[in-house]
Amino acid sequence: MKLTAEQLVYTHPGAREPLLNGVSLEIAPGRIAALLGRNGSGKSTLVRLMSGYLNPDSGSVTLDGRPVSEWSPAERVRRLAVVQQHVSIPLTDYTVRETVAMGLAGVSRLSGALSPEQSDRLEHTLELLELTELSGRLCGTLSGGERQRVFTAAALVRSPGLLLLDEPTSAADPAVTRKIVSLLRRLAPEVGILVVTHDLQLALDCAGYVMLLHGGRIAAEGNPADVLRPENLLPVYGCPFRRYDCGGRPVILPE
Amino acid sequence: MRRLFSLLCLLAVFCLAACSDERKSAPDGVVSLSPALTELVCHLGQEKRLVARSTACDWPESVKKLPTAGDFTEPELERLLAMKPALVVSNEFVNPKDADALRQAGIAVELHPCDGFDDYREWVALMGKLLDCPREADSELKRANDRIAEFEVELKNAQNKPLRALYVIWDSPLLTAGADSLPDAVGRLAGLENIVKTETGYPSISLEFVLKEDPDVIVWFAHGKDWKSNPSWGGIRAIREGRVLIPRDDSALLRPGPRIFDGIADLKSDLETMFAGRESAGDAQE
Amino acid sequence: MKTARIILVYLAAALAAAVCGVLFGAARIPLSEFIQDDALNPIVELRIVRTAAAAVVGASLAVSGLVFQAVLRNSLAEPYLLGVSGGAGLGAAGAILLGFGAWGFMSVPLFALLGAVTANVLVFAAVRRRTAEELLLGGVMIGTLASSLLMVLITFSHSRDMAGVVWWMLGSVQNVDPARQLAPAAVLLCATTVFLLFRAGDVDLLTFGPEYAWNHGVNARVMTVVLLALASLLAAVTVSMAGIIGFCGLVVPHIVRRLHGGSHRKILVPAALAGAVFLMLADILGRVASPVRELPVGMVTAAVGCPVFLWLLNRSRAGS
């Protein structure tokens, strides 16, 4: 299973300059890729292009060799799951369990009832993201970080082969961030993961591959230890960084 | 300051109106924006004074040659101002400010409702004065009074109870004529009793009320609509049994003008024809 | 409460309202007179048709409003938003004022339906990016244009015709043809409800926004258009037979959602039944309160719906 973007060019409607100008990347099981870049550099747009929600001006996104837009929605989401950064709050509230179960409804939507196997998967996913205790709560009563976990669970409940996460830890406390990192590591052997993040440390800690998006192109990519160096980060973020060594674990901080 | 000015203006208009009244010279340029008043003016022999009419004025046939200066109750201001008639008569204006505008341009405006026989008598007297034809007005007043008295006497001498009637102005929704309306008054003189007694004006009434009241006859004023086409009316006995009377000329009945008495007489004779046969048939059965 | 039990409660309420609708009205009829000369008393027959019409119209409006609010993610969304009311009004007024009413009883409803569907299609055709927000704006614009044209038509009309148009706009379930109007509307309502039950998961997902729905396997753009077009058609059919009845499609879905949560598979049928109950009761209230003069049912729904909605609004503020 493989999600490949090739030479993507995308211009926002009404904009003059393209936001993305020839970006290529590949997501496959066994590897966590991290995508970094400044605010407004087009990271979330890249995720939307790769999920097929947006269509590129030129270039292609293929899922297992077939253009992502040609897959039937049900077949596509069985393979590819996306966790958005922002989700509109619905008019009326659903419980945590209902919301996560909706991730399954996308796969089998003819009857409302879940098969025993689906129920098992639902319970398992709730447990995986430590939502079992919250499962009866209404999503509107949850904190931002808790809600992020609910939407992550809704994406994971179908056991997808590929997972795109747009800033999964932006509202998480350090303990939750740690748990998410370990969860991603646990999933990585079977699931191809792309994490969009501003958290350099998260990228250093869990990613096997890092891409720096700048000016509509990939400015640098490769091994995290090689890419996340002060000389690469300075032109992207416009501020100096320094790398420290904490007992063999690299730490990078803005100066 | 502005209020004072407008007050002065108003005063000036009143003075002008009073002056013209005193001189008693009948105006030549008269515009009637009400079909009933147009008929009245012609009936009083003053058709020559009319210079324009409303789009609804269609009787007598000869007035159709006149230019129009608006719809019924809606004057076309610019055309009227260009025409500069001496007098505009109508029953009401949709926009009351139109009358002020005309008066400010020095055009006399007479706006009075005409919804029944009393209104009609007042209009006849007023027209006699306005158009300087008191003799014609007096004779029309006498004719109207005589004819109404005639109908009343016939009513008093009638042997049968009045027929209970539903006046249909519009079929969907069911708009009917209420207790104080012209059709009510006209129908009464023709020997009918309106089933709508508690509501005034032209109310929309419930079908269930009609079914409960079970009118003897339906007088159909919904010009151009087919009384058979509305399926929800099937339950009304008068509809099922075809007791629906379509007036020969509903404009004669709905317009409080000089033709209304002939209209009533026609309605009455039509009702007599419609029910004479049926009553004798009913008697034979009993 | 289990979904089945909720539906049973609503069904019982609907049956009770229907029985009341046949028992009460302007006239007082003893049960012994329900059958006259081996035939149904015409007054009772009238009440049956009228009550059934109120039920179908109420249910259709509630289902339509439920879909509109979910897909547009707007709590003020109502069934007439996408040009339906303005278009239907224009169609009906055109038929009445241009004299097509003489073509027969069905001409006005057919023109109303035609106007509503045309305005609706125009909205979908005129808005290029058919997101919920842009459709909403396009609908408001086309609706306003239609309403202005309607006003122009009305100013050109004679007072008798105008009364017909105004009455028609206020909404009434009095003049419904059971075979040519009520039966097709009921079939459409049932078909739409079944379709929506199958697609309730999609509706649920769309309430989180089109991107979320896309990421969970819903073709959001297509589904948005399909659902809104279907809901508008449902509204257009009710408008063509009963005129514009406000508040039913706005208030009923809110109440049902608030009581039973958000999952559309669970609340769809209760909402339909609640809409039927709401309009049947409003119609009975109008009939009993004013036995001679017909009260437009749209007036009753507004009089009842407005305070209920305000109460609901304030309650939700306090809750959040």
Q: pLDDT tens, B51-69?
A: 999 998 998 999 999 999 9
**CB contact, 8 Å: C73 with chain A?**
yes
- Residue bearing the bigger pLDDT, B12 or C293: C293
Q: Which of B73, B208, B237 lies nearest to residue C287, judging by beta carbons?
A: B208
Cis-peptide, bond into residue C307, ω within 30° of zero: no
How many cross-chain Cβ pairs, A to C, lie less than 8 Å apart?
A: 88
The kind and range of the H/E element at C298 are: helix C297-319
Q: Do domains B13-139 and B160-278 have the same CATH topology?
A: yes
CB contact under 8 A, B174 and C294: yes
Q: pLDDT tens, B177-224?
A: 999 899 999 999 999 999 999 999 888 888 889 999 999 999 998 877
Q: Other C-beta atoms within 10 Å of A201: how many?
A: 16
Q: In the structure encoding, which two tokens stand for residue A210, read together? A: 């890092």
pLDDT at position C203, please?
92
Please state, for a pLDDT cut of 70, what percent of chain C lies above it. Answer: 95
Residues 6+ away with beta carbon under 8 Å from A143: A171
**CB contact, 8 Å: C70 with chain A?**
yes
B near C: at least 3 beta-carbon pairs less than 8 Å apart: yes
DSSP annotation of C156 reads T
Domain that holds residue A95: 3-254
In the three-class reduction of DSSP (H, G, I as helix; E, B as strand; rest coil), residue C36 is classed as: strand
Dmax over Cα atoms in chain C, in whole Å? 65
Q: Which residues of A touch C257 (CB under 8 A)?
A: 91-92
CB contact under 8 A, A92 and C257: yes
How many cross-chain Cβ pairs, B to C, lie less than 8 Å apart?
A: 104
Q: Which residues of C touch A78 (CB under 8 A)?
A: 217
pLDDT at position B115, please?
84
Q: Is the pLDDT of residue B21 over 70?
A: no
Name the residue ranges covered by the structural domains of chain C. Answer: 3-319
**CB contact, 8 Å: B230 with chain C?**
yes
Q: What is the 3-state secondary structure (H, E, C) of chain A?
A: CCEEEEEEEECCCCCCCCCEEEEEEEECCCCEEEEEECCCCCHHHHHHHHHCCCCCCEEEEEECCEEHHHCCHHHHHHHEEEECCCCCCCCCCCEHHHHHHHHHHCCCCCCCCCCHHHHHHHHHHHHHCCCCCCCCCEHHHCCHHHHHHHHHHHHHCCCCCEEEEECCCCCCCHHHHHHHHHHHHHHCCCCEEEEECCCHHHHHHHCCEEEEEECCEEEEEECHHHHCCHHHHHHHHCCCEEEEEECCEEEEEEC
Q: pLDDT tens, A64-82?
A: 999 999 999 889 999 999 9
Q: Other C-beta atoms within 10 Å of A133: how many?
A: 10
Q: What is the DSSP string of B167-184?
A: EEEETTTTEE--TTSHHH
- CA atoms within a 13 Å half-sphere pointing along the CA-CB vector of C13: 18
Q: How far apart are the first and last CA of chain A?
A: 41
Q: pLDDT tens, A6-18?
A: 999 999 988 899 9
Q: Which residues of C touch A106 (CB under 8 A)?
A: 201, 205, 216-218
pLDDT at position B228, please?
82
Give the Cα separation of A100 and A132 in Å (integer).
Answer: 11
Q: Other C-beta atoms within 10 Å of B268: how many?
A: 18
Q: Which residues of B touch C168 (CB under 8 A)?
A: 172-173
**CB contact, 8 Å: B207 with chain C?**
yes
Taking a C-beta distance cutoff of 8 angstroms, is the pair C96, C159 a contact? no
Residue of A nearest to C77 (CA): A91
CB contact under 8 A, B206 and C167: no
Q: Which residues of C touch B91 (CB under 8 A)?
A: none
**CB contact, 8 Å: B227 with chain C?**
no
Mean pLDDT of C168-174: 80
Distances (CA, A) of B259 to B32, B82, B129, B223, C218: 17, 32, 21, 18, 72
Q: In the structure encoding, which two tokens stand for residue C186, read together? A: 């009921």
Provide residues of A within 8 Å CB-CB of chain C: 13, 48, 51-53, 73-74, 76-78, 81-84, 87-88, 90-95, 98, 102-103, 105-107, 109-110, 112, 140, 151, 154-155
Torsion of CA A171, A177, A179, A184, to 10 degrees: 100
Give the Cα separation of C252 and C279 in Å (integer).
Answer: 10
- Residue bearing the bigger pLDDT, A91 or B106: B106
Ranking A102-111, B80-89, C63-72, C184-193 by mean pLDDT, the lowest is A102-111
Q: Which residues of C touch B220 (CB under 8 A)?
A: none
Q: Which residues of C touch A165 (CB under 8 A)?
A: none
Q: Is the pLDDT of residue C160 over 80?
A: no
How many Å lie between the alpha carbon of A82 and the closest alpha carbon of chain C? 6
Q: In the structure encoding, which two tokens stand for residue B283, read together? A: 């008697």
How many Å lie between the alpha carbon of C118 and the closest alpha carbon of chain B? 24
Give the length of chain A: 255
pLDDT at position B171, please?
79
pLDDT at position B7, please?
52
Q: Which residues of A touch C69 (CB under 8 A)?
A: 91
What's the whole-number average pLDDT of chain B? 85
How many Å lie between the alpha carbon of C262 and the closest alpha carbon of chain A? 5
Taking a C-beta distance cutoff of 8 angstroms, is the pair C210, C224 a contact? yes
Beta bridge partners of A53: none
Q: Which of A102, A114, A158, A164 to mutate to test the interface with C (most CBs of C within 10 A)?
A: A102
A near C: at least 3 beta-carbon pairs less than 8 Å apart: yes
pLDDT interval class at C319 (50, 70, 90): very low
- Looking at mean pLDDT, say which of A79-93, B212-226, C273-287 comes out highest: C273-287
Q: pLDDT tens, C67-82?
A: 999 998 888 888 888 8
Q: What is the ipTM of this complex?
A: 0.93
Helices C3-23/C264-289 angle, 10° precision: 20
CB contact under 8 A, A84 and C198: no
Q: Is the pLDDT of residue B42 over 90?
A: yes
How many Å lie between the alpha carbon of B136 and the closest alpha carbon of chain C? 32
Q: Provide the pairing of β-strand A241-246 with A249-254.
A: antiparallel
What's the whole-number average pLDDT of chain C? 87
How many Å lie between the alpha carbon of A179 and the closest alpha carbon of chain C? 24
Taking a C-beta distance cutoff of 8 angstroms, is the pair B258, B36 a contact? no
In the three-class reduction of DSSP (H, G, I as helix; E, B as strand; rest coil), residue C271 is classed as: helix
> Domain B13-139's class?
alpha beta
- b/e C128-149 (16+ beta carbons within 10 angstroms → b): eebebeebbebbeebbebbbeb
Place of tokens 């459409």: C188
What's the whole-number average pLDDT of chain A? 90
**CB contact, 8 Å: B246 with chain C?**
no
- b/e A67-83 (16+ beta carbons within 10 angstroms → b): ebeebebeebbbbbbbb
Q: pLDDT tens, B239-285?
A: 989 999 999 988 888 899 999 999 999 999 999 999 886 554 444 33
- Nearest by Cα to A165 from A173, A154, A174: A154
Q: Other C-beta atoms within 10 Å of B135: how many?
A: 10
- State the total domains in chain A: 1
How many Å lie between the alpha carbon of C251 and the closest alpha carbon of chain B? 26
CATH architecture of C3-319: Orthogonal Bundle (1.10)
Give the Cα separation of A78 and A119 in Å (integer).
Answer: 16
Dmax over Cα atoms in chain A, in whole Å? 56
Q: Which of C43, C172, C179 lies nearest to residue B208, judging by beta carbons?
A: C43
Taking a C-beta distance cutoff of 8 angstroms, is the pair A248, A53 a contact? no
**CB contact, 8 Å: B205 with chain C?**
yes
**CB contact, 8 Å: C30 with chain B?**
no
Q: How far apart are the first and last CA of chain C?
A: 23
CB contact under 8 A, A93 and C209: no
Q: Looking at residue A154, which CATH number applies to its domain?
A: 3.40.50.300
> Domain B160-278's class?
alpha beta
Q: What is the DSSP string of chain B?
A: -HHHHHHHHHHHHHHHHHHHHHHTPPPS-EEE-SHHHHHHHHHTT-GGGEEEE-TT---SGGGGGSPB-EETTEE-HHHHHHH--SEEEES--SSTHHHHHHHHTT-EEEE----SHHHHHHHHHHHHHHTT-HHHHHHHHHHHHHHHHHHHHHHHH--SPPEEEEEEEETTTTEE--TTSHHHHHHHHTTEEES--S--SS-BB-HHHHHHH--SEEEE--TT--TTS-GGGTT-HHHHTT-EE--S-HHHHHS-STTHHHHHHHHHHHHHHHHHHHHHHHHHH-
- Nearest by Cα to A32 from A219, A217, A229, A211: A211
Q: Which residues of C touch B211 (CB under 8 A)?
A: 27, 42-43, 46
pLDDT at position C187, please?
96
pLDDT at position C316, please?
59
DSSP annotation of C2 reads -
- Nearest by Cα to B188 from B236, B211, B156, B222: B156
Place of tokens 């589904």: C223
How many Å lie between the alpha carbon of C267 and the closest alpha carbon of chain B? 34
How many Å lie between the alpha carbon of C139 and the closest alpha carbon of chain A? 20
Neighbours of B, requiring at least 3 CB pairs below 8 Å, are C
Residues 6+ away with beta carbon under 8 Å from B180: B115, B116, B200, B201
**CB contact, 8 Å: B232 with chain C?**
yes
Q: Provide the pairing of β-strand A32-37 with A209-214.
A: parallel
The kind and range of the H/E element at C20 are: helix C3-23
CB contact under 8 A, C75 and A91: yes
Q: Which of C160, C178, C179 lies nearest to residue B170, judging by beta carbons?
A: C160
* Range 8-27 of C in CB contact (< 8 A) with B: 25-27
Residues 6+ away with beta carbon under 8 Å from B160: B279
Return phi, psi of residue B108, to 5°: -75, 140
Q: Which of B73, B199, B225 lies nearest to residue C292, judging by beta carbons?
A: B199
Q: Which of A90, A107, A155 lies nearest to residue C207, judging by beta carbons?
A: A90
Q: What does the radius of gyration of chain A's CA atoms come to, in whole angstroms?
A: 18
Mean pLDDT of B58-82: 89
